[in-house]
Amino acid sequence: MHDVTIIGGGPAGLFSAFYSGLRNMKTKIIESHPFLGGKVHVYPEKIVWDVGGLPAVTGQQLIDHLVKQGTTFDPDIVLGEKVTSIEKIDGTFKLTTHNGQVHWSQSVIVAVGGGIIEPKKLDVKGAEKFEVSNLHYTVPSFQRFAGKRVVISGGSHSAIDWANELAPIAERVHLVYRREELKGHEASIDLLIEQGVELNEQSAIEALTANEAGTEISQVTLTHPEHGVRMLDVDEVIISHGFNRDASLLDQSPIPLERVDDFFIKGSAQSASSVSGLFAAGDILHHEGKLHLIAGAFQDAANAVNLAKQYIDPEASARAMVSSHNERMDEYNKKWKEEQLVSS
């Protein structure tokens, strides 16, 4: 029996594990993937700026930091198991996974993010055969695109960021999106223009043309409602159309959880849900003041842990002391200082 079980090992889940460790809670993380880090694995080379105190880190560096911090107090970690059902039996939570394993917990924090299972695929006939060559749904390495003619399809923040990252090293970058205007951070959109990214508004990829060998995409066909059809010679194609959401956990759980848009957990700004003892953190949580940034996930996590602590121990304080004043951190602070001296 654990004090708290965290479903999801992304930024919200890992910070929840760290914070629950500060509060002397017996903690478990259950992650469906065989690794920790969550959605950040989609962009390991992307520069992340929206975490306070970290001016510029790559996605992979952020993952490394999150995992190191999240495992500080040695939580039990279960990888490669997808929780498929949450039940509440006589005040205790029973979590069942896809392979029939059962986990018991006094409280639960749901931190499954956007429920990513796979990127949304390009809806063009024959596109799947190019996934082994030059059609991409993630960008694991920027150097692959050096000196190349690149088409990026999508108008999301990720598509804009990828275009800005690749513009300095690629021969040419085309950004293709359906809207009349991009909806992203103003500074990022200004940078697209400054770097000479070609913006193809109100456009979509209609067809792919293979090279003579039939192994790679050599041209894409774009359509525009007014300008008609346009052909672009390309070396690499990146699709950033978002991700499919998996709501099966909430659908299959026999608990009266209030939801928003059938997927998100309707909760409070303090990370409480409609079920006592069950809390949420990160993108899965919805409330009026929700901040969909990694930085916001950290606040969700701390709030969720504080409520979980009081749920299982009503006499506990409402909030933990900050980590710099927490006695449990003394040995870790000493070890960190020693490591810094050795590295310098």
> Is 332 annotated for ligand binding?
no
> Is 39 annotated for ligand binding?
yes
> Is 324 annotated for ligand binding?
yes
Provide the terminal-to-terminal Cα distance of the chain, rounded to the nearest Å: 43
Nearest to 300 by CA among 124, 112, 93, 29: 112
> Is 169 annotated for ligand binding?
no
Question: Bridge-partner residues for 283, per DSSP?
Answer: none
Phi and psi, residue 103, nearest 5°: -125, 135
Element (H, E) at 61: helix 59-70
Q: Extract the tokens encoding 308.
A: 């979980």
> Is 117 annotated for ligand binding?
yes
> Is 82 annotated for ligand binding?
no
CA–CA distance, 280 with 191 (Å, rounded to integer)? 35
> Is 63 annotated for ligand binding?
no
- Binding site, by residue number, is 31, 39, 43, 83, 117, 283, 324
- Binding site for FAD, by residue number, is 31, 39, 43, 83, 117, 283, 324
